């Protein structure tokens, strides 16, 4: 069939496109191996890049392998697909599809068993500015943040990234409490899934007393009933939301002032009280109230603010150090990178819309390295400037240029010094605050004299 060339190497997310070299590592800046803000940033960046690619034909291959599916079974399927691809009429598309499948098969042969969360592979002929027929087969393997629930093979003019996007949704369990004086509903929310896990009726008398009772005695009895009811609710909430589901945040709602009284009198466990996300007014309580709270929270963007709350605490601590005069809060590109290089930084903070790039110019003759950190808008001009200069050591003008996203570079520095790296949203008030200070800051371990 006149294949263009032998596939003698795998191209693993290299060059000026992007790299997942660190994005999927298990020990990435996290002692517990959990999905953190850096991994989220890098996978989001990758998904956005992949989603923007359009092939010249149906020649971009997407493979989702769930955890329990044997690798040999996937390889067998892809070999069959390669045989079927021989029927494609266009020589160029046929060769690209078969090359992409061969590259994917060769990559999968590295695995003795399927990874814990499964694996996702995107592979195909990526268009470039050299024109049709000059594309290069590239492969992008992803270690997903959660176990894959589907087995999928697609060959299309775009990569199928929707399932990965769904996995990016926050999976922290949020507790929902809908309460009034008659009934209480307790629910949980994880990503897009929610359910009511408990319902309690109060048995508290209405506000209007029956004949034969004094107003004061009636009110005293009713207060005792409410107190007993609130204690029962608090016990159920603790057993359900802490002991069983270990929720990380809490939304309380309901009609009238009951919810405020319940929270004000501190019936709720202090651990849940500390994780309060919002208090919402609703028309209903109980099971219907839980549904209403979730709909209202989603509509008003309350749930989107959950990660923002964590970022608020981080930025509050950072700004406190900046203004304290102790010298432990610093900002600015050069200052932060110097602190990270010298192992002085305890926590590095950067916004997810940061546009800095680290450029390295390595002389091919004497291996002398020159570095510069620039804004992406200055990338081309800076490259041209350095490439036109002679090497300061040997006078040669032949360089190898290495381009690295600033977050990836900070991650390398953090890994070497045991620092923490946090990527926060640039769209929030805190993100704008950090943007005004150069889009990156650091909390130091000790003051640098």
- How do 119-126 and 440-444 pair as beta strands? unpaired
For 225-280, the pLDDT digits (tens) are: 899 999 999 999 999 999 988 888 899 999 989 999 999 999 999 999 988 888 99
For 52-102, the pLDDT digits (tens) are: 888 888 889 999 999 989 999 999 999 999 999 888 888 888 999 999 999
Can you tell me the mean pLDDT for 355-359? 92
Query: Which pLDDT score, from 0 to 100, does residue 33 have?
Result: 37
Cα-Cα-Cα-Cα torsion 426, 432, 435, 437, nearest 10 degrees, comes to -150
Can you tell me the mean pLDDT for 332-343? 92
Domains identified in the chain and CATH numbers: 37-167 (3.30.960.10), 173-303 (3.30.420.60), 309-444 (3.30.1330.30)
DSSP 3-state of 399: strand
Q: Over the chain, what is the mean pLDDT?
A: 84
Query: Which pLDDT score, from 0 to 100, does residue 345 have?
Result: 93
What gap in Å lies between CA 392 and CA 362, rounded to an integer? 11
Query: Which pLDDT score, from 0 to 100, does residue 176 have?
Result: 95
Query: Which pLDDT score, from 0 to 100, does residue 30 have?
Result: 38
Helix (H) or strand (E) holding 23: none
Query: Which pLDDT score, from 0 to 100, does residue 135 have?
Result: 81
Residues of the chain above pLDDT 90, percent: 46
pLDDT band at 430 (very low <50, low <70, confident <90, very high): confident
Query: Which pLDDT score, from 0 to 100, does residue 6 have?
Result: 34
pLDDT band at 18 (very low <50, low <70, confident <90, very high): very low
What gap in Å lies between CA 340 and CA 361, rounded to an integer? 21
Which phi-psi region, left, alpha or beta, contains residue 343 (left: φ > 0; alpha: ψ -120 to 50)?
A: left
For the chain, the C-alpha Rg in angstroms (whole number) is 28
Query: Which pLDDT score, from 0 to 100, does residue 20 have?
Result: 39
Can you tell me the mean pLDDT for 1-26? 35
Query: Which pLDDT score, from 0 to 100, does residue 126 have?
Result: 86
pLDDT band at 10 (very low <50, low <70, confident <90, very high): very low
pLDDT for residue 435 is more than 80:
yes
For 145-179, the pLDDT digits (tens) are: 888 989 999 999 999 998 888 777 666 788 999 99
Helix (H) or strand (E) holding 289: helix 286-300
pLDDT band at 19 (very low <50, low <70, confident <90, very high): very low
Helices 37-51 and 406-417, packing angle to 10 deg: 150
Number of other residues whose CB lies within 10 A of the CB of residue 432: 12
What gap in Å lies between CA 263 and CA 393, rounded to an integer? 69
Query: Which pLDDT score, from 0 to 100, does residue 171 have?
Result: 63
What gap in Å lies between CA 161 and CA 139, rounded to an integer? 14
Query: Which pLDDT score, from 0 to 100, does residue 330 have?
Result: 94
Q: Which residues pair with 361 in a beta bridge?
A: 370, 401
What gap in Å lies between CA 114 and CA 116, rounded to an integer? 7
pLDDT for residue 129 is more than 80:
no
Query: Which pLDDT score, from 0 to 100, does residue 211 have?
Result: 53
Query: Which pLDDT score, from 0 to 100, does residue 425 have?
Result: 83
Lookup result for tokens 């008398």: 205
Can you tell me the mean pLDDT for 3-18? 35
The single-letter DSSP state of residue 439 is S
For 286-331, the pLDDT digits (tens) are: 999 999 998 888 787 776 656 666 777 889 899 999 999 898 999 9
- Which of the residue ranges 35-44, 171-180, 192-201, 286-295 would you say has the lowest mean pLDDT? 35-44
DSSP 3-state of 55: coil
The single-letter DSSP state of residue 391 is P
Query: Which pLDDT score, from 0 to 100, does residue 28 have?
Result: 36
């Amino acid at each position: 069939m006149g294949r263009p060339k032998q596939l003698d190497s795998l191209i693993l997310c290299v060059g000026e496109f992007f790299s997942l070299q660190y994005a999927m590592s298990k020990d990435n800046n996290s002692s517990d191996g959990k999905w953190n803000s850096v991994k989220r940033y890098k996978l989001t960046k990758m998904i956005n890049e992949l989603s923007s690619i359009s092939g010249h034909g149906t020649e971009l291959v997407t493979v989702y392998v769930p955890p329990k599916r044997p690798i040999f079974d996937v390889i067998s399927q892809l070999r069959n697909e390669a045989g079927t691809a021989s029927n494609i009429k266009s020589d160029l598309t046929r060769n690209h599809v078969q090359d992409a499948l061969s590259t994917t098969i060769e990559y999968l042969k590295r695995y003795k068993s399927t990874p814990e969360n499964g694996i996702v592979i995107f592979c195909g002929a990526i268009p470039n500015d050299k024109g049709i027929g000059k594309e290069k087969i590239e492969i992008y393997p992803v270690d997903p943040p959660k176990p894959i629930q589907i087995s999928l093979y697609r060959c299309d003019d775009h990569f199928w990234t929707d399932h990965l996007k769904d996995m990016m949704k926050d999976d922290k369990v949020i507790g929902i409490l809908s309460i009034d004086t008659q009934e209480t509903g307790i629910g949980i929310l994880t990503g897009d899934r929610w359910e009511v896990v408990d319902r309690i009726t109060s048995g508290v008398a209405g506000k209007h007393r029956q004949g034969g009772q004094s107003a004061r005695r009636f009110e005293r009895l009713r207060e005792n009933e409410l107190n007993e009811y609130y204690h029962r609710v608090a016990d159920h909430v603790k057993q359900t939301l802490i002991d069983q589901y270990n929720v990380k945040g809490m939304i309380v709602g309901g009609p009238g002032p009951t919810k405020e009284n319940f929270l004000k009198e501190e019936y709720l466990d202090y651990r849940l009280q500390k994780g309060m996300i919002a208090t919402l007014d609703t028309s209903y309580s109980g099971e219907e109230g839980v549904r209403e709270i979730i709909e209202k929270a989603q509509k008003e963007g309350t749930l989107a603010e959950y990660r923002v709350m964590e970022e608020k605490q981080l930025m509050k601590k950072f700004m406190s150090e900046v203004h304290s005069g102790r010298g432990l809060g610093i900002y600015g590109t050069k200052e932060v990178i110097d602190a990270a290089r010298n192992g002085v930084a305890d926590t590095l903070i950067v916004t997810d819309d940061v546009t800095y790039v680290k450029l390295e110019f390595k002389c091919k003759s004497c291996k002398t390295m020159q570095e510069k950190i620039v804004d992406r808008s200055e990338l081309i001009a800076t490259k041209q400037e350095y490439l036109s200069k002679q090497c300061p050591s040997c006078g040669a003008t032949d360089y190898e240029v290495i381009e690295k996203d600033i977050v990836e570079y900070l991650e390398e520095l953090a890994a070497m010094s045991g620092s923490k790296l946090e990527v926060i949203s640039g769209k929030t008030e805190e993100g704008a605050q950090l943007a005004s200070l150069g889009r990156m800051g650091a909390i130091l371990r000790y003051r640098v004299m």
